[in-house]
């Protein structure tokens, strides 16, 4: 697969994504500057983590108006895969490609730590190879990762299988203590109606090699790659 990794001013996780996709998983990937990017030849788009535009207005709110975002929306609307990680998730919400918003952690602290995620069986190529109930260990690094949406939106996400991951304890139990930021219903990641767009606060690209603490993040990339292979078989 060919991955486009979009770099905004203040992005810092682009090289982490590039390393995992190319050196670890053997895929093709390019880091593209947001003003000059042409996404037409890529199979999947990655909006990485960081502090786009310094988070000076609101996380993701300025990047949402970047020239590249029209192409991201077109790619998504064609049913092609898009992932937004951390700040990328915030950008997708600001662009209304995903519902909800990410607000300040309930602790009012920046949280940088390893957490556990429970796969919820969302209908998405990003998680189709991860059985529901599987527990992954992946790090977070954010100050505004508290997922919020009105009750009706949360109910719709639940009813239509659009919650991809929840924060949990190592056994898979959903508890308040295992929720690092106060996210509604312990939600760590959601998908759009078609399932091709995934937004998640944890960083799968930072859980791609044993030397950095674990490889569970690769299961998300591998899931997409397997789905793409299956679609062309």
How many CA atoms within 13 Å lie on the side-chain side of 218? Answer: 16
Our answer to whether residue 86 is catalytic in this structure is yes
Distance separating alpha carbons of residues 79 and 134, to the nearest angstrom: 26
**Cα angle 144-150-224, degrees, rounded to a multiple of 5:** 65
Polymer length in residues for the chain: 233
Catalytic residue among 18, 75, 86, 93: 86
CB-CB contact of 141 with 49 (8 Å): yes
Distance between CA atoms of residues 182 and 42, nearest Å: 35
The reply to whether 144 belongs to the active site is no
| Strand-pair partners of 208 | none
Sheet strands side by side (includes 82-85): 28-33, 2-7, 44-47, 82-85, 197-200, 187-191, 163-168, 111-119, 135-142
Q: 34, 75, 116, 203: which one is catalytic? A: 203
Enzyme catalytic residues? 86, 203, 205
């Amino acid at each position: 697969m060919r991955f486009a990794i979009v770099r905004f001013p203040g992005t810092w996780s682009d090289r982490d994504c590039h390393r995992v996709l190319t050196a670890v998983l053997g895929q093709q990937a390019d880091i593209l500057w947001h003003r000059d990017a042409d996404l037409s030849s890529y199979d999947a788009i990655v909006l990485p983590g960081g502090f786009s535009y310094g988070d000076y207005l609101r996380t993701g709110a300025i990047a949402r108006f970047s020239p590249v975002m029209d192409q991201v929306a077109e790619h998504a609307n064609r049913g092609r895969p898009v992932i937004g990680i951390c700040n990328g998730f915030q950008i997708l919400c600001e662009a209304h490609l995903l519902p909800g918003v990410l607000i300040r952690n309930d602790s009012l602290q920046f949280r940088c730590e390893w957490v556990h995620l429970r796969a919820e069986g969302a209908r998405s190529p990003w998680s189709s190879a991860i059985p529901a109930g599987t527990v992954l260990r992946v790090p977070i690094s954010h100050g505004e990762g508290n997922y919020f949406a009105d009750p009706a939106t949360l109910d719709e996400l639940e009813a239509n299988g659009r919650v991809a991951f929840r924060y949990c304890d190592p056994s898979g139990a959903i508890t308040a203590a295992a929720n690092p930021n106060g996210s509604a219903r312990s939600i760590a990641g959601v998908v759009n109606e078609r399932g091709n767009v995934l937004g998640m606060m944890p960083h799968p690209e930072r859980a791609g090699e044993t030397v950095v603490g674990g490889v569970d993040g690769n299961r998300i990339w591998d899931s997409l790659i397997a789905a793409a292979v299956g679609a062309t078989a």
